Structure 1
Amino acid sequence: MEKPREWLREKSIAKKVLSNANVVFEVIDGRIPFETRNSVVEQLAKERNKKLYIIINKADLIPKDFGKKVKKEIEKEFPAVLFSAKSNLGIKNLNKIIDELSKEKKIIKIGVLGYPNVGKSSVINKLKGRKVATTSPKPGMTRGEQLIKLAPNVFLIDTPGIITLEFQEDLALKGSWIPEKLEQPIETALKLIEKISNHNKNSLKELYNIDPSGEPLDILEKIGYSLNFLKKGGEVDLDRTSKKVLWDWIKGNLKAYWM
């Protein structure tokens, strides 16, 4: 399985942004917070002595008590903010941080970093109060870096999603890789189903109206039958079903979460 060719380019983007930024906002997916924390970004921030805040995004897709637990765990290392653009959660906290930063007598540049599709653009648009960054459920929609003014001396640096040296399959499980680009979407969907079955089995039942018991392959076939994704002869189209499951995960239709 091929590792993303872009990773060296994108690691250099992270290094460049961290050289230019005084502060880092690392955006993570609140459904899978520890899988979407980027160790490269965090390590580079520590090495360069940059202040780093972790924004736990998509908080509207997780229960409140789970969000609090995640925040408490992350705050053992870094300050954290629970955030949701949809429900306006965390915007006051982030504005307070920006107000504090604006009191400094120098130009402050905040690098906004994270995996593709964790919702960096939604965070940026909410802070700016209007759409200045591209939002899309399709991973990798931000092209190049943008400088966005928030206050007379405070700027955000918007960046493309940072992919580190990982397999396509691992990135797809984070919601950071387009299913159509996967070499083996069925294997990836089976791994996702296994994870969801271990943590939030009911989300499969709710979305696809199936009995979520059995092995991942049995569950995938049940989903295919439920969606009527059948080939000639009545056999389930596993490839098409797998891509649908992966897209439902990317779009937040599958209400699963874990630490």
Structure 2
Amino acid sequence: MEKPREWLREKSIAKKILSKSDVIFEVIDARIPFETRNSVVEKLAKERNKRLFIIMNKVDLVPESFAKKVKKEIEKEVPVILFSAHKSTGKREIENLIRKLSKENRLIKIGVLGYPNVGKSSVINKLKGKKVATTSPKPGMTRGEQLVKLAPNVFLIDTPGIITLEFQEDLALKGSWIPEKLEQPVEIAQKLIKKIQEKRPEAIKESYGVEPSQDPYETLKRIGERLNYRVSGGEVDIDRTAKKVLWDWIKGNIKAYWI
């Protein structure tokens, strides 16, 4: 499977933002925290001696006990702030950090990095208190970088999602690739369903009202039947169903999470 052609461009963006920034906020998805940590970003930050903080966004989509467990684990390496752009969780903690940084009597730039769709723009808008960054459930909606003023001497640098060296399939499972752009949406939706069935099988029934099968393809078929997605002739439209499941994952409509 072809790796995204954009990865070289994205890596160069990461390097550019890292070189411009004094502090890095790496935004990750609380549902799949370890899968949305970007090893390239973290390695580059470490090599350049940048202060790194992980903003674990979307904590409203996971149980509090799960979020705290993940925070404790990641904090063995990097400080973590639990955040929900939707519910304003963690906003005060970040504001306190920014206040502290603003006392350094020099211009401070904070680079905000992370995979597409982890909610970087939502975090920025919440901190600014108004919409200054593009938000969309479509991964990759931020185009180019922009500076956002948070204090007289503290600025955030909003950036496009950093995808680095991964295959479309891996990005799709992270919710970082638009389903319509996938060559094999059915295959990838089956992999996602298999993962959900392993980690939190009740999420399928909660989201679609169907009992999952041991066979992910059969589960996908049951979901299509329940949604009444049909092709001419009455067969289940499996392609449309697969894309719907992948979009539901991107939008946070499937309540599954794992370490």
Give the TM bin, normalised by the shorter chain.
over 0.9
For residues 233 and 20 of structure 1, what CA distance do their matches in structure 2 show?
58
In structure 2, the residue matched to 1:49 is 49
Give the CA deviation at 1:234: 2.3
Structure 1 residues not aligned, in runs of 5+: none
SS of 1:95 mapped into structure 2: helix
Q: Deviations over 1:9-31 (max 9, x none)?
A: 01000000000000000000000
2:247 equivalent to 1:247: yes
Alignment of 1:81-160 (within 5 A): 81-160=81-160
Q: Deviations over 1:45-94 (max 9, x none)?
A: 00000000000000000000000001001100000000001111000110
Give the CA deviation at 1:212: 1.4
SS of 2:112 mapped into structure 1: strand
For residues 34 and 225 of structure 1, what CA distance do their matches in structure 2 show?
33
For residues 244 and 69 of structure 2, what CA distance do their matches in structure 1 show?
30
Alignment of 1:155-194 (within 5 A): 155-194=155-194
- Aligned pair count reads 259
Q: Deviations over 1:186-225 (max 9, x none)?
A: 0100000000000111111011110113211110110010
For residues 37 and 63 of structure 1, what CA distance do their matches in structure 2 show?
19
Structure 2 residues not aligned, in runs of 5+: none
Output the amino acid matched with 1:93: E
2:26 equivalent to 1:26: yes
For residues 233 and 75 of structure 2, what CA distance do their matches in structure 1 show?
54
Output the amino acid matched with 1:73: E
In structure 2, the residue matched to 1:71 is 71
Give the CA deviation at 1:249: 0.2
Give the CA deviation at 1:232: 2.3
Output the amino acid matched with 1:17: I
In structure 2, the residue matched to 1:204 is 204
For residues 143 and 213 of structure 1, what CA distance do their matches in structure 2 show?
41
RMSD: 0.6
Overall identity of the aligned pairs, in %: 73
For residues 254 and 226 of structure 1, what CA distance do their matches in structure 2 show?
16
SS of 1:211 mapped into structure 2: coil
For residues 110 and 33 of structure 1, what CA distance do their matches in structure 2 show?
21
For residues 213 and 168 of structure 2, what CA distance do their matches in structure 1 show?
27
For residues 169 and 235 of structure 1, what CA distance do their matches in structure 2 show?
26
For residues 232 and 24 of structure 2, what CA distance do their matches in structure 1 show?
52
For residues 86 and 237 of structure 2, what CA distance do their matches in structure 1 show?
34
Q: Deviations over 1:144-198 (max 9, x none)?
A: 0001110011000000000111110110000000000000000100000000000
For residues 198 and 214 of structure 1, what CA distance do their matches in structure 2 show?
10
Give the TM-score, by structure 2 length. 0.99
Give the CA deviation at 1:246: 0.1
